[in-house]
Amino acid sequence: MSPLVTAQDLAIAGRLEPSSLELRAGELVGLVGPNGSGKTSLLHALAGIPPSTGNVRIAGQITKGMHPDHRQRLFTFLPASRDVVWPLKARDLISLALPRGADWAKVAERLDIGALLDRRMDRLSTGERSRVMIARALAPDPRLLLLDEPIANLDPLWQLLLLDELRRLAHDEDKALLVAIHDLRAAAEWSDRLILMSERQIRADAAPSALVASGLIEKVFGVELAGADLRLRLADRQSSP
Amino acid sequence: MSARTILALVGLVVLAFALSMALPWSSIDYLFRRDPVLARGLLVELRLPRALLALTYGAALGACGAAVQAIFANPLASPDLTGTTSGAALGAVVTAYLLELASPFALSLGSIAGATGALGLLLALSGPRAETSTLLLAGLAISALAGALTTLALALAPSPFAFYDAYEWLMGSLVDRSLAQAAFALVPAAVAILLLWRQVPALDSLALGEQSAEAIGYDIGRVRLWVVVLTAIGVGACVAICGAIGFVGLVAPVFARRLTGNRPGSAILPAALIGAALLLAADLAVRTAPLGRTLPIGVATAVLGAPFFLWLVTHMRWKLGP
Amino acid sequence: MRKLVALILLGVLAWPAPASAEHHVASVNLCTDELLLLLASPSQIASVSHLSQQPQETPFWRQARRYKSNDGTLLSVLQQRPDVVLTMGGRGHDRQRIAKRLGIRTVELPYPQTIDDVIASVRLVARTLDRPGAGEKVVASMVALKRTAPSRRLDALYLTGGGLSVSANGLAADWMRLAGLQQRSLRGDRVTLEQLLVAPPSVLLRSNYRSRQYSREQQWLAHPLASRAKARLTLQTDGRLWTCMGPSLVREIPRLRRMLQS
């Protein structure tokens, strides 16, 4: 089966070296790497946010220049920042620039934001705001989801609930997801595949077990692996370069 | 925002317009009985241009104010605080008094060029994602500079009357303009507002953040350019005829956003209606106030708008925290 | 030795003789410029103010440009070493004192409020210049105008930029009366467009002062209601003459009378 998403020569001057990748429907792909490795830039380039360059095809269609309504049914993007500029109500934020006819009642239910809908975004906690913004990313029912640190501001319960929902979206609704996650353990546990980045380049693209076995994680992160379940501890001072 | 609200706003504007034409009633009434042809002349040649200009200028300030606030993601960005109206006045003054090109067309072009320069300078100084303090400081600097240069240009102008005109250019005036002049303001402003309306979906999406808006598929760089150009045209054309009037571009969008649930783009058309009503009301107040002399309209808007501005700043401090 | 004496005698004879009865007069005010240029002989004029050399300010600018100019201050006048300085209005007390200490006499004319005041100013300047004859010639023409003033006067409005008019009791109104025009009394000496529409005068006396230069005042005059004002008769007048309302108006009044009669 041909991949849902093919991207070639994605690049951002000074932030991302030319990179290519493929994403398949039904796969939850975790995007990991140290700070400054280019995770956000790769997501930006896939989302077509200037000043990025490159070609992205989703379901055989080129995304550049597409009308917003059509484009959002193909993919949506969740930015890392949870800041809100205008004090909109949660319900109004989700409806912003939404394609006509998008029904997000189920999404709201799954993320349990029913009670938050009529409250103003600036009066919600960061975690609640995150869930509302994730709901906005899910609302157009896109084929591809590009999510930058979706579990960052959530409490432990909601981290698990969300990861579970993301996996369900991939496996049961046949979506493709590329999710940047800081937490290596969570990424390895929940992803079908891992893309490892460092120094503005993709270093590896493989199943979590293969990646762990390759020893690349220690090299990229500069920490030592202990045990198969990816526990980390600081390398000895003497052996550090 | 419901259709009922829009209808109510339109009704408000129509009422304010009608009152502008009718009041003071006594002189019109007396004239109609004595000589209807004369009364018609009074209405058409004097009161109509004035009411049209108040409507047009107010609508332009409201719509452009809302658009500029959406672009800068800041409720304090407005044509006067960003130095746009002062820049426009400077452009018009230099064109008319120093370059001695006084046709309405040349005046409008000069004014639009001045407005474009001011907005361009603001973007260069503060960037589109500036903090409030940076934006306000840059806007203040540009306003002050443009105001000072305007006064200087008038002082250096060949005609000795020019210096007394500074009052009108910097405080605005709708008095004794002809129907032709009103048309020169109305047409560009109407075109600008209509074209701004086309940017509403993109501007609304900006409330999700610039990156999200880009990901959704809007070319925010291009939208920003459109807003700058259209604001310069709409505001510039009005300043060329009436001078710089402040505060309406700040106040009208605030009320408009209340009606649209804080969606910044959808607020453009309601802001136009509210701005028109505000300026018509201010002009009415200035004309019917029993002061024995006419106040320039900029004074009326400043007296009403400045306290509102202060309230907005203090209100904003604890509402829009990180 | 004889050669030396001859040289010394030549030097003494060649030295410029003191201007015995001749005066050297500088004028630092536009209105006194007019009087000086009208009444003095060319050698008596030390300098005139720069305003009188500008075409937009006065019709006798060509004549004024034959002389040196000053910028209205005592300092700029000193170079020409006048013995009299002509000015108008009573503000320069310090200037008078300084001038006296430098040996310069200041003649300060009051602002004229009536035609008789203008006549008095003419006589005063003529006396200062030691040219009474020139003064009386000018006075005679003004007196003749007064004698032939028409008894029937038309309701009129003097109009310049921005709707500015003149007082119904001032010097301008006096001159207009000599032409057969009665200036209407206006609130604030200003007419509004509405007044022009509702109660147009019989005669509109329009000043063309600086009409080609842009200003909001001139734009006011371009409004349809001002340019098409339905006065029975609209007369154009040289606005420059009405700034000082001095004796140069003597030639303008008969012209206005002629136009009214036709």
From B267's Cα to the closest Cα of chain A, the distance in A is 12
- At B240 the three-state DSSP class reads helix
B261 touches chain A (CB under 8 A): yes
Contact assessment for residue C237 and residue C25, using Cβ atoms and an 8 Å cutoff: no
DSSP string, B263-281: -TTTTHHHHHHHHHHHHHH
Q: From C54, which residue of chain B is nearest by alpha-carbon distance? A: B158
pLDDT band at A233 (very low <50, low <70, confident <90, very high): low
A49 touches chain B (CB under 8 A): yes
* Whole-number pLDDT of residue A93: 95
B133 touches chain A (CB under 8 A): no
pLDDT band at A225 (very low <50, low <70, confident <90, very high): low
Q: From C198, which residue of chain B is nearest by alpha-carbon distance? A: B38
* Whole-number pLDDT of residue C18: 47
* CB pair distance less than 8 Å for B168 and C197: no
C189 touches chain B (CB under 8 A): no
* Whole-number pLDDT of residue A39: 94
Strand A61-62 relative to strand A53-58: parallel, antiparallel, unpaired?
Answer: antiparallel
Query: A158 Cβ partners below 8 Å, 6+ apart?
Result: A127, A131, A151
Nearest-by-Cβ selection for A87 from B204, B213, B262: B262
* CB pair distance less than 8 Å for A50 and B221: yes
Distance CA B320, CA C239 (A): 61
Distance CA B276, CA B282 (A): 10
Could you give the dihedral angle defined by the CA atoms of residues A210, A6, B214 and A38, in that order, rounded to the nearest 10 degrees?
30
B318 touches chain A (CB under 8 A): no
Give the pair of three-digit tokens for residue A218: 């220690």
Each residue's pLDDT tens digit, C95-109: 888 888 888 899 999
Bridge partner residues of A57 (DSSP): A6, A62
Please name each of the domains of chain C with its CATH number: 22-144 (3.40.50.1980), 151-261 (3.40.50.1980)
Residue C17 confidence (pLDDT) above 60: no
DSSP string, chain A: ---SEEEEEEEETTTEEEEEEEE-TT-EEEEE--TTSSHHHHHHHHHT-TT-EEEEEETTEE-TT--HHHHHHHEEEE-S----SS--BHHHHHHTTPPTT---HHHHHHTT-GGGTTSBGGGS-HHHHHHHHHHHHHTT--SEEEEESTTTT--HHHHHHHHHHHHHHHHTT--EEEEE-S-HHHHHHH-SEEEEEETTEEEEEE-HHHHHHHTHHHHHH--EEETTTTEEEPPPTTT--
Contact assessment for residue B127 and residue B72, using Cβ atoms and an 8 Å cutoff: no
* CB pair distance less than 8 Å for A67 and B217: yes
Task: Tell me whether the omega of the peptide bond preceding residue A51 falls within 30 degrees of 0, making it cis.
Answer: yes
B73 touches chain A (CB under 8 A): yes
Each residue's pLDDT tens digit, A122-141: 899 999 999 999 999 999 99
Residue C164 confidence (pLDDT) above 70: yes
Query: A37 Cβ partners below 8 Å, 6+ apart?
Result: A197, A198, A199, A200, A220
B100 touches chain C (CB under 8 A): yes
Each residue's pLDDT tens digit, A161-189: 999 999 999 999 999 999 999 988 899 89
Distance CA B82, CA A7 (A): 42
Residues 106-145 of A with CB under 8 A from B: 122, 136
- At B75 the three-state DSSP class reads coil
CA B59 from chain centre, in angstroms, equals 7
* CB pair distance less than 8 Å for A96 and B322: no
Nearest-by-Cβ selection for B178 from C198, C215, C223: C223
B201 touches chain A (CB under 8 A): yes
Nearest-by-Cβ selection for B216 from A72, A85, A87: A72
A86 touches chain B (CB under 8 A): yes
Angle made by CA atoms B191, B195, B197, in degrees to the nearest 5 = 120
Chains B and A touch (3+ CB pairs under 8 A): yes
pLDDT band at A230 (very low <50, low <70, confident <90, very high): low
**Which amino acid makes up residue C191?**
V
B205 touches chain A (CB under 8 A): yes
Strand C45-49 relative to strand C105-109: parallel, antiparallel, unpaired?
Answer: unpaired
C61 touches chain B (CB under 8 A): no
Distance CA A207, CA B274 (A): 59
Q: Which residues of A touch B211 (CB under 8 A)?
A: 44, 47, 49, 77, 79
Contact assessment for residue C82 and residue C104, using Cβ atoms and an 8 Å cutoff: yes
From C159's Cα to the closest Cα of chain B, the distance in A is 16
B14 or A240, higher pLDDT: B14
A67 touches chain B (CB under 8 A): yes
Q: C20: burial class by Cβ within 10 Å (0-12, 13-18, 19+)?
A: exposed
Q: Which residues of C touch B100 (CB under 8 A)?
A: 213-214
B218 touches chain A (CB under 8 A): yes
Strand A193-198 relative to strand A201-206: parallel, antiparallel, unpaired?
Answer: antiparallel
Query: B53 Cβ partners below 8 Å, 6+ apart?
Result: B174, B177, B181, B182, B185, B186, B238, B241, B242
Q: Which residues of A touch B201 (CB under 8 A)?
A: 68, 97
Q: Which residues of A touch B221 (CB under 8 A)?
A: 50
From B88's Cα to the closest Cα of chain A, the distance in A is 29
* CB pair distance less than 8 Å for B176 and C197: no
Nearest to A123 by CA among B307, B318, B27, C34: B318
Q: Which residues of C touch B97 (CB under 8 A)?
A: 214-215
Could you read off the pLDDT tens digit of each residue along chain B, which spans 322 residues?
Answer: 788 999 999 999 999 999 998 887 877 887 788 888 888 888 888 899 999 999 999 999 999 999 999 998 888 888 988 899 999 999 999 999 889 888 889 999 999 999 999 999 999 998 877 777 888 889 999 999 999 999 999 888 877 777 778 888 888 989 889 999 999 999 999 999 999 999 999 999 999 999 999 999 999 999 999 999 999 999 999 999 999 998 999 999 999 999 999 999 999 999 999 999 999 999 998 888 777 667 889 988 998 888 988 888 787 764 444 4
Nearest-by-Cβ selection for B168 from C163, C216, C222: C216
Q: Which residues of C touch B38 (CB under 8 A)?
A: 197-198
B322 touches chain A (CB under 8 A): yes
* Whole-number pLDDT of residue A238: 42
* CB pair distance less than 8 Å for C215 and B159: yes
Range name among A75-89, A223-237, C38-52 with the lowest pLDDT average: A223-237
* CB pair distance less than 8 Å for B201 and A87: no
Q: What is the ipTM of this complex?
A: 0.90
* CB pair distance less than 8 Å for A97 and B216: yes
Nearest-by-Cβ selection for A68 from B211, B216, B322: B216
Nearest-by-Cβ selection for C197 from B41, B100, B158: B41
Mutate to test the interface with A, among B72, B204, B212 (most CBs of A within 10 A): B212
Nearest-by-Cβ selection for B212 from A77, A86, A122: A77
* CB pair distance less than 8 Å for B168 and C224: no
Nearest-by-Cβ selection for B263 from A68, A78, A96: A96
* Whole-number pLDDT of residue C98: 85
Q: Residue C191, CB half-sphere, CA atoms under 13 Å: how many?
A: 31
Residues 143-182 of C with CB under 8 A from B: 161-163
B184 touches chain C (CB under 8 A): no
> Tokens 């200009």 — which residue?
B53
Each residue's pLDDT tens digit, C64-83: 999 999 988 888 888 888 99
From B135's Cα to the closest Cα of chain A, the distance in A is 15
**Intra-chain end-to-end CA distance of chain A, in Å:** 45
pTM beyond 0.80: the answer is: yes
Q: From A78, which residue of chain B is nearest by alpha-carbon distance? A: B212
Each residue's pLDDT tens digit, A50-90: 899 999 999 999 998 899 999 999 999 999 998 888 999 99
Q: What would the 3-class secondary structure string for chain C be?
A: CHHHHHHHHHHHHHCCCCCCCCCCEEECCHHHHHHHHHHCCHHHEEEEEHHHHCCCCCCCHHHHCCCEEECCCHHHHHCCCCCEEEEECCCCHHHHHHHHHCCCEEEEECCCCCHHHHHHHHHHHHHHCCCHHHHHHHHHHHHHHHHCCCCCCEEEEEECHHHECCCCCCHHHHHHHHCCEEECCCHHHECCHHHHHHCCCCEEEEECCCCCCCCHHHHHHHCHHHHCCCCCEEEEECCCHHHHCCCCHHHHHHHHHHHHHC
From B36's Cα to the closest Cα of chain C, the distance in A is 11
* Whole-number pLDDT of residue B319: 47
C82 touches chain B (CB under 8 A): no
Neighbours of chain B (3+ CB pairs under 8 A): A, C
Nearest-by-Cβ selection for C210 from B31, B100, B159: B159
